[in-house]
Structure 1
């Protein structure tokens, strides 16, 4: 009985905040059961430079999965032409290390909770709209799920303060 109460509570908490996303175009795959980009319900998500974007994802394993990798691709459109840029996730690419309710191997049909993190580099241009596709693949490179999220990187607090200070000094 206690287990059912815990699972129901977890279900309500997880489903209380959902970020609107769309299916991937570059690498089409199923959408997960649930996704929430921290601090963003309706894209474009405003993400500060020098911080992690954190995405909580719930998905059902389509088959037994021994290893998973998370891949990110930024899609930048300039003058009507879209450029795809693979965005390295470093250690965050190892999906199995960030499962929150289970561990690998994941069994077929198992509902998995995962926390994805991607660092927004300070060199990434601020106030520039970008679409990011996050995709999780198994050890055979078959897509397990994929989400497409419009974002806009905003200047970090330190960068904004430097800009304000530079402007004040220039005006003196």
Structure 2
């Protein structure tokens, strides 16, 4: 009966961990990282994450890199209906957002990547899907990670 206590402990640890992360969707067959989206000091655990113009948005992405990374670029696309809009992150080099180590990052190394910004008032109200990608520029722009988060923009 040692299996039952171990199983209960595993479920409790996963539940406690899940409370501090954001539920995200997978894009393709690439690495799905652990993501924590914080909007105005509140962790969004399930989408749509609600925000309004002027909201402070912070996204922390944690993953173990499958390959050596030296030149990586972040890309964020907002999709509303059939319309896709690339969102400027003000950051061409994702190495600037790595908070626990420095580039180059060895294959298998753990990476914590963070991006913060204030939501601009140019975005219309409504539900959007944000697709976030880190591209390996040394490997023909291959996607290292990719995930989606549903957001709801409300103007107050």
State the TM-score, normalizing by the size of structure 2. 0.78
Cα distance change of structure 1 residues 119 and 94 upon mapping to structure 2, 3 Å threshold: farther
- Correspondence for 1:169: none
> Which of 21, 25, 49 is residue 22 of structure 1 equivalent to?
25
Indicate the larger mover: 42-51 or 65-74: 42-51
Matched pairs, number: 135
Report deviation, 1:48: 2.1
Task: Looking at secondary structure, tell me which structure has more helix per residue.
Answer: 1
Find the structure with the greater CA-based Rg.
Answer: 1
State the TM-score, normalizing by the size of structure 1. 0.72
Report deviation, 1:87: 1.3
Q: Determine the C-alpha separation between the residues in 1 that align with 2:57 and 2:154.
A: 12
Q: Determine the C-alpha separation between the residues in 1 that align with 2:55 and 2:93.
A: 19
Q: Secondary structure at the match of 2:26?
A: coil
Report deviation, 1:24: 1.7
Q: What is the RMSD computed on CA atoms of the aligned residues?
A: 2.0
Q: Determine the C-alpha separation between the residues in 1 that align with 2:76 and 2:20.
A: 22
Q: Determine the C-alpha separation between the residues in 2 that align with 1:69 and 1:51.
A: 24
Task: Looking at secondary structure, tell me which structure has more strand per residue.
Answer: 2
Asked if 1:54 corresponds to 2:58, the answer is yes
Asked if 1:152 corresponds to 2:140, the answer is no
Report deviation, 1:130: 0.5
Structure 1: 4+ residue segments shifted above 6 A: none
Q: What aligned pairs does 1:73-112 form with structure 2 within 5 A after superposition? A: 73-77=77-81, 82-91=82-91, 93-112=92-111
